[in-house]
Every structure is written in structure tokens, then in C-alpha cells.
Structure 1
Amino acid sequence: MKPLAFALAAALAALSAAPGMAQTALKMAVETPPGDPLNLMLATTRDTLAQGGGFDIDYYDSGAMGDEKALTELLRAGQVDVVPLGSDIVELDSKFAIFDLPFLFEDKATARAALDGELGAKLAASLRETNNLQVLAFGELGFRAISNSVRPINTPADLAGLKLRTPGSQTRIMSFQALGAAPTPMSLGEVYVALRQGVLDGQENPLSVVKEFSFDEVQKYISLTNHVYTPITLAMSAPAFDALSAEQQEAILAAAAAGAAATRSLSDESDASLVQEFEAAGLEVNKPDLAAFKAAAAPLRDAFAEIVTPEFLTEVEDSLK
């Protein structure tokens, strides 16, 4: 059975096991529009829960309740119950900066196993302790590529002076500054216009996000740097989660697992098909000299160790060997 089908079956089993659940109101919100991985994770969770009943869900997408930073504050304040968080989660908990350390993960399988195992458990415990948020599941945005309208990125020297949109994460900004670019934090919803008008030269995101936000329409080059792997952290207000019955908790965790599986399937499908689609549309797609990038990024390790703590970074590195 495929991962998504298995997750859906588990979720429905959890829901059917609790037919007597009272209706519980849940407010869910996401910054991005339908089709985007963040939206897919939340929508799949919502739809899976709806199949079993027991939850009365209010759903807001496409930034109807604000961008990710605004939604994060609403989540912490208990004014929204469930939000999928991408790179900006590092602003809540510094341990999540581990995902901004370039070239930490060799491939998706390694990253997924870590998130489904000890690393995910440690991050979930930390987010509970620091922000009173419950991690429901870890989905996938995936490995990130760099797109721009100036030149192909083959070596770190090609980044020199490029105005690249990044998330607001200070560690992502630090990394691109070290590589010679001019990182420019900006809300994702503003990036297309900024690229079209030349305010930005480029941006960095997984290929599925490049397609969903039509960045390929206003960029000439896509470089498959795979510089960082970004998970989706589906987070819920801990007080709201704790107020659920054991059966409801089981149901929402199972539904979230279905959402995570859906994003991983989308990531695999996008990475398999979009390079050819972008090339057919006239974009130049290249594979950079990753050895040069890894060498240039190596000095960042000490700075990241101070942010996530040397002990935590060593534990993560040892677990990946």
C-alpha cells in the first residue's frame, strides 16, 4: 500500500473507531493557495477529518487570515487552532534552525526518516516546551532550488550580488550572505510581482512552489542546488489539543499523517516532472557544482552550533551517519 493510501486508511480507521465523538470546533488557516504543499497538507488533514465527522472545521486559505508570521502569532494566542508552518518556524524555536544548515541531509529518505524518528520527537518536545504548540505531523516542502533572471548558478561565485528572496529566518539570511548573495526577506505572496518588476533577481524554493506561484513565468534560470531541505510542521495549539478526547487526538494525528503523506507524494511527483516542464517552457535548468557549494558553506557549522547548541547539532549529525 502506498504511503498516502496507508495514512488515509489509518485516519479513517481512527475516525470510525470513535463514532460517538461530539462535534468539536476547529479553526484551520494557511498562507498559501490550493495546490501549494502547505495548503495541501492542511486541506488533506481537513478533508480526512471531515470524512469521519466529529469536527466542525472553519478553513481559511490564501492568506485570508494573514501571512505565515501573522498566523503563527494567532496560533500561539489560541485564535486559530491548526496551522502548517514552513521556514518561519525557526523564529519560534531556534532548534528548527537545523533545517537552514546547508547540505545537512543527503536525500529525502534520510530527512524523512529523521523527522519520523528521533529528530522529529526532539523537535516536537522542544516546540511544546518553548511555545506550547503540539506537532501533529511533519510534511514536506522538500529540497530547495534557486531561480533567477540574471545567470545560471554553477558555483557560489555566481550568487555574488544577486537579490534573492528568502524567508524571514535569520539563519537562512546568514547562509546566503555567507555565500555572497544579497538575501531579501519577503512574504511569499509578494514575490511574483517583485520578480516581475525587477525588485528581486530571484528566489529559492522547492520546484513545486516555483510552479504553484508561477515564478517560472518571470525567471530565466533554475539551479538545482538542493541547499536545504524544508519540512512542513503541522502545529496545533497545545491547549486545544489537550482539550480533545483521546479518540479525537488519535483521529487528528492520523489525519495529519495523511496530510504529511500527501505532501511527500507531491514532492516526489514534482521533482520527477517539473524539470522537463520548465525546460520545455524555455527555462535553463542546471545542476551546479555542489562540492564547491558544500565547501563554501562548511564554515557556517560553528555559527549554527551556537544557535541550536553544539550538543544538539552533534546529536543530529551523529544520527545521520
Structure 2
Amino acid sequence: MTTRSTTRATTRAGISRRTLLASGAALSAVVPLCGILSRPASAAEFSYKMATGQDPTHPVNIRAQEALNRIREATGGRLDIALFPANQLGSDTDLLGQVRNGGVEFFNLSASILATLTPVTGIVNTGFAFADYDTVWKAMDGELGTHIRAQIAKSGLITASRIWDNGFRHISSSTREIRTPDDLKGFKIRVPPAPMLTSLFKALEAGPTPINFNELYSALQTKVVEGQENPLAIIATAKLYEVQKTISLTGHVWDGYWILGNRRAWEKLPADLRAVVEKELDRSAFEQRADIAGLSNSLQQDLSGKGITFLKADADAFRANLRKTSFYGDWKTKYGEEAWGLLEKSVGKLA
């Protein structure tokens, strides 16, 4: 990390760790690193907390726990970071406040929600911008990612240098089949409290309703909303298939998780401990990316077996529909020429 740059209770875990990682992106063994000091783990100089919003079986938490284990081992127990998954310490919006004021020292947050604090982070959620992962990592490990981290730093938070993968988002429904833009008109869809996603579905004439993730299952169950949109891994681990009938493979938005850190807590750590944290979080970022990329086929098979019907969506038709509106132009104005130029440098002309 640099000072320059940077979901639901465990009872809903559902799909097993083995199922989630059956894509072939097998978990690497946790190899103990040489301790920096021989101090026992029980004598931690620094005891920190990391919060996440994902269920324990999600690759985010599996890989985060591996990183925290390696950090404890490599620092000889000087730094002990405890993991609190599944919004145990509060909703995503609550935890964003906590990581800013020091209630938790580390927190992973999707770019879509971080945009409520640092607007430019939402540029990665631009509707139908990213066609594939090659394009995503070209942007996020390159100039666009560097630019975004610099803006996050201005809010007083620090970030890991590598963004983690939340995957491409798809639309699920309990009431209608979504294949074309016309199918979305008037559709009551839950979105996270994220400006870009709200704007996207308004432009497509749906009825987006911001709801925190820890309230999503009940909102679907009670038909407060007809559907929602999330990556397949989230739909699986949160057992949303129990209250939905179809998933349309729209891939309308890519989203990632930034590992955020409280600046004061980070600056208390000696340089050698910071270096270990940076190294191990970035290692787990690459491993978690591979996990998510490999999950698509296995999760489709698993979810089909649980009664979900998968539908193909016409991404070109959705993109063409958006170009008839002011959607791309409005967001270009909001983000500014520099950030928008860096996005289009990776994905091609949008507006």
C-alpha cells in the first residue's frame, strides 16, 4: 500500500468452499514465511481488524484469511489482523465510516459503493464498458488504477495497490426474463447504494432501488423488488437463487473490491510490517482474481442444478440503447476529461 495510491450472515453461506473453487483455480497451500522476528503470535504489537461484506465461503474471505495468516507468520506475530466477514461489524456503508474513523483498520469495499465517497472510483462501473478481463486488468493495473488510487488517498484512506475482483455483474429476476433493453422497462431492481448503477438502470428505464446487501435477501423474498444484479459468486454464496428464477448474463458492469486502510493505523506500523502487508495482500489479490475468473462455468452448472434458468442477453443492444441517451456523456462530464480519457484508452470510444 502507499499513502499516495489504494454480505450477509454466516448462516446464509450455502455453497461450500470446495464447490466455489471447483473451477480449477485451486487454493494454493499456505506456505509459512520466515518470521521477521521470533516473537510469539500471542505477543502482537499491533492487533487490527479487517472487515468484509462477503460470506465466509466467498473467495474474497478465503484469500484474505490466507493473507492474514501469512502476515502473522512473516511478522513473527508482531501484527495480528482478525478477519470479520459477512458484514458482522455493520453494513457496507457503516463500515466505510468505521474504516475512516478507525473503528476497523482494514475493509474491502466495492468500487460501486466507494463512489459515494470518492466519485471517480465508480468509473469502472460504467455500463457495458469492459468486454473482458484482459481489458479490465489493462486498465486497473495501469494508468486508470493509479489515477483512482490517487483520488482515494485524497479522502484520507490508503489502498492496496491491486484491486480484487468482484466479477462481472448479471441481472436476476423472479418475475420476467431479461434479454433486451425493452425487458427492463419498469423492472423493480435492487442496486447497491451506488450512483453509477442507479444511473445506468434509470437510463435503461428500469426502477432501481438502492438497498444495502445485508437486507437484499429479505427484499427479494418479500417482493419489495423483483430482481437484483450481482456477480455469480455473490448470487451463489448469498443463496439468492432461493428467491430468484432466472439469471440474464448481461455482464453489464464489472466491479472490483478495493482493500481500504485507515491512514492513522497504517502509519503506526513500522516500514517492515507495511512491506509484508503490501506483499501478502497483493499476492492474494492475484490468487482471488484467478478464483473468480475460473468460477463462471462451474457456478452456472451449480446454479442450474438449483433451479435457475440462464438467459443470454444482447450486450450490443443495451450499449446501443445507452448511446441514444445522455448516459455516457453525462458521466464523461462528471468524471472529467482525464479519468474518462484513461478509461477509453483501455476500452475504446464510449462517448
The 5 Å alignment of 1:1-321 reads 5=28, 16=34, 18-19=36-37, 23-52=45-74, 53-86=77-110, 87-298=112-323, 299=325, 300-321=327-348
Inter-partner Cα distance in structure 1 for 2:27 and 2:308: 32
Q: Per-residue displacement from partner, 1:218-263 (whole Å, max 9, x unpaired)?
A: 1111000000100110111122222222211111011211331232
Structure 1 pair 136/268, CA: closer, same or farther in 2 (3 Å)? same
Structure 1 pair 161/145, CA: closer, same or farther in 2 (3 Å)? same
Q: Which residue identity is paired with 2:233?
A: S
**Contact 1:97 1:304 survives alignment (8 Å):** no
Q: Per-residue displacement from partner, 1:58-84 (whole Å, max 9, x unpaired)?
A: 332222210111000011112211000
In the TM superposition, residue 134 of structure 1 has moved relative to its aligned partner by 3.1
Provide the secondary structure at the position in 2 that maps to 1:234.
Answer: strand
Q: Which residue identity is paired with 1:307?
A: K
Structure 1 pair 226/103, CA: closer, same or farther in 2 (3 Å)? same
Inter-partner Cα distance in structure 2 for 1:310 and 1:18: 46
Structure 1 pair 4/258, CA: closer, same or farther in 2 (3 Å)? farther
Inter-partner Cα distance in structure 2 for 1:294 and 1:4: 36
Which runs of no fewer than 5 residues in structure 2 stay unpaired? Answer: 1-24
How many residues of Structure 1 are paired with residues of Structure 2 in the alignment? 315
In the TM superposition, residue 100 of structure 1 has moved relative to its aligned partner by 2.1
Structure 1 pair 243/98, CA: closer, same or farther in 2 (3 Å)? same
Q: Per-residue displacement from partner, 1:9-52 (whole Å, max 9, x unpaired)?
A: 7xx65xx3733687322121123320234434533332222332
Which runs of no fewer than 5 residues in structure 1 stay unpaired? Answer: none
* Higher relative helix content: 1
In the TM superposition, residue 172 of structure 1 has moved relative to its aligned partner by 0.9
Inter-partner Cα distance in structure 2 for 1:306 and 1:130: 21
Moved more, 226-235 or 125-134: 125-134
In the TM superposition, residue 4 of structure 1 has moved relative to its aligned partner by 7.2
Q: Which residue identity is paired with 1:305?
A: K
TM-score by length of 2: 0.83
In the TM superposition, residue 122 of structure 1 has moved relative to its aligned partner by 1.5
Provide the secondary structure at the position in 2 that maps to 1:109.
Answer: helix
RMSD value over aligned CA atoms?
2.2
Inter-partner Cα distance in structure 2 for 1:4 and 1:136: 22
Provide the secondary structure at the position in 2 that maps to 1:225.
Answer: strand
Aligned to 2:22: none
Inter-partner Cα distance in structure 2 for 1:180 and 1:37: 34
Q: Which residue identity is paired with 1:19?
A: L
In the TM superposition, residue 178 of structure 1 has moved relative to its aligned partner by 0.7
In the TM superposition, residue 275 of structure 1 has moved relative to its aligned partner by 1.4
Inter-partner Cα distance in structure 1 for 2:303 and 2:85: 27
Inter-partner Cα distance in structure 2 for 1:48 and 1:190: 33
Identity %, equivalent residues? 29
Structure 1 pair 141/134, CA: closer, same or farther in 2 (3 Å)? closer
Provide the secondary structure at the position in 2 that maps to 1:227.
Answer: strand
Provide the secondary structure at the position in 2 that maps to 1:130.
Answer: coil
Structure 1 pair 311/136, CA: closer, same or farther in 2 (3 Å)? closer
Provide the secondary structure at the position in 2 that maps to 1:286.
Answer: strand
Inter-partner Cα distance in structure 2 for 1:195 and 1:100: 23
